[in-house]
């Protein structure tokens, strides 16, 4: 995930960041560290991986630290905060706040309940799910509104980052079913289940509007800048999360066509997710060979892949096919590797101060006048 100037192939200023300025450029993209950590705990629990409770604890601590830093950002640097909100390259990252709350809530109920007890885990998840869902719905409407009436969006600037504004309702649809068994039978359970299906539809249709714009931008304008290439993995988010959502809903929905829908929808979408994983992976390899620098965009390798892990696990549960279990295991290995690399590089960047310094746009190379030669 990137900040405003990082999205334009940045080079960074020296790492000596005054303490009072430390959070000036601490944007909403930092919630991606929380999302990427929490999904490791949730996916690990779904696969029966031992020890993921420690990762859940880390996700809770990260949420507290990032939320505090973001509060300081808004308190002391409101001009920069408003500039972020009014910039189409940064505003969609406000969806990361909602998804961080939802991800930590789900991890609490799946992995954390063994540490704090089921009753406390349910209470924490209920609060985080409610707040995260409300924030996510506000972002899903508010950011597109700003893009239409306030942002200056140039032709050919469509980015996978735009998806971050509309994916939060899908995360709610995937995590809401965890609370269904803890509600009284009858109206309350049905209301939550059908509300999750409604949010599934909101996010799915919005994603279907944005994805063609993203692919058209790639075809007509060529590959993304090197530092932005990891954001291609963000496309996996709504894909894997939607498969997870229909699988989770089928587990708790009343008898009916819900399981059939989970398979009819989930199988082809998982196929497309694997197609995009290979395509995006090839683009990342290409960018790496050309010197792709580390940036917060590398956290895009974590949460989206994690949703594919839970999606594959759900398909394995409903089909009984061992192949989906193997797929989920393989994707989990990829997830943990990406999380470890992004985490270490982020910690190194924080200790050096590079990630907290004012990003400076690098000189723009002239675009070829005719055919692409990249």
Q: How does pLDDT run across 133-192, given as a tens digit for each residue?
A: 999 999 999 999 999 998 888 888 899 999 999 999 999 999 999 999 999 988 999 999
Per DSSP, helices labelled H in 8-117 are 31-46, 52-76, 78-85, 95-107, 113-116
* pLDDT at residue 367 in the model: 44
CA-CA distance, 285 to 288, in Å (whole number)?
A: 5
Are 231 and 161 spatial neighbours (Cβ–Cβ below 8 Å)?
A: yes
pLDDT for 265-296, tens place per residue?
Answer: 999 999 999 999 999 999 999 999 999 999 99
CA 4 distance to own-chain centroid:
18
Q: For the chain, give the mean pLDDT.
A: 90
Residue with tokens 């982020």, as numbered in its chain: 346
Confidence band for 361, pLDDT divided at 50, 70 and 90:
low
What pLDDT digit, counting tens, does each position of 231-244 carry? 999 999 999 999 99
Helix (H), strand (E) at residue 10: strand 10-12
% residues pLDDT > 90 (the chain): 78
Grade residue 56 by pLDDT with cuts at 50, 70 and 90.
very high
Task: Say if CB 171 and CB 200 are below 8 A apart.
Answer: no
Using CA atoms of 214, 95, 335, 222 in order, give the dihedral in degrees to the nearest 10: 20
Q: Is the pLDDT of residue 213 over 70?
A: yes
**Helix, strand, or coil (residue 359):** strand
pTM score, whole prediction:
0.90
- pLDDT digit string, tens, across residues 86-112: 888 899 999 999 999 999 999 999 999
Q: What is the pLDDT of residue 11?
A: 39
Mean pLDDT within 344-355: 92
Q: Give the C-alpha separation, 326 to 332, whole Å.
A: 10
Architecture of domain 6-361: Alpha/alpha barrel (1.50)
- Residue in the structure block whose two tokens are 């993921």: 52
């Amino acid at each position: 995930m990137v900040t405003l100037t990082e999205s334009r192939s940045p080079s960074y200023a020296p790492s000596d960041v005054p303490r009072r300025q430390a959070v000036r450029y601490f944007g909403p993209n930092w919630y991606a560290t929380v999302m990427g950590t929490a999904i490791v705990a949730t996916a690990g629990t779904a696969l029966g991986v031992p020890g993921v409770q420690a990762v859940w604890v880390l996700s809770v601590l990260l949420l507290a630290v990032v939320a505090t830093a973001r509060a300081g950002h808004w308190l002391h640097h409101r001009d920069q905060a408003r500039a972020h909100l009014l910039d189409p390259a940064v505003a969609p990252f406000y969806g990361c706040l909602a998804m961080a709350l939802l991800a930590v809530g789900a991890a609490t109920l799946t992995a954390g309940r063994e540490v704090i007890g089921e009753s406390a885990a349910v209470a924490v998840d209920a609060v985080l799910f409610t707040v995260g869902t409300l924030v996510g719905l506000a972002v899903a409407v508010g950011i597109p509104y700003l893009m239409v009436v306030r942002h200056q969006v140039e032709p050919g600037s469509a980015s996978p980052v735009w998806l971050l504004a509309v994916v939060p309702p899908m995360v709610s649809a995937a995590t809401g079913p965890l609370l269904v068994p803890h509600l009284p039978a009858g109206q309350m359970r049905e209301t939550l289940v059908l509300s999750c299906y409604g949010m599934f539809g909101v996010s799915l249709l919005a994603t279907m509007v944005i994805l063609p714009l993203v692919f058209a931008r790639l075809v007509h304008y060529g590959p993304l800048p090197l530092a932005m290439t990891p954001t291609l993995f963000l496309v996996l988010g709504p894909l894997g999360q939607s498969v997870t959502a229909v699988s989770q809903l089928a587990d708790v929905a009343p008898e009916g066509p819900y399981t059939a829908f989970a398979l009819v929808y989930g199988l082809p979408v998982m196929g497309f997710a694997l197609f995009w994983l290979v395509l995006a992976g090839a683009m990342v390899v290409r960018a790496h060979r050309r010197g792709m620098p580390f940036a917060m965009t590398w956290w895009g390798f974590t949460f989206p892949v994690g949703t594919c892990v839970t999606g594959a696990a759900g398909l394995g549960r409903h089909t009984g096919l061992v192949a989906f279990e193997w797929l989920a295991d393989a994707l989990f290995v990829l997830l943990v590797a990406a999380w470890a690399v992004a985490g270490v590089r982020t910690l190194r960047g924080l200790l050096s101060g590079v990630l907290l310094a004012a990003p400076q746009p690098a000189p723009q190379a002239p675009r070829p006048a005719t055919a692409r030669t990249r």
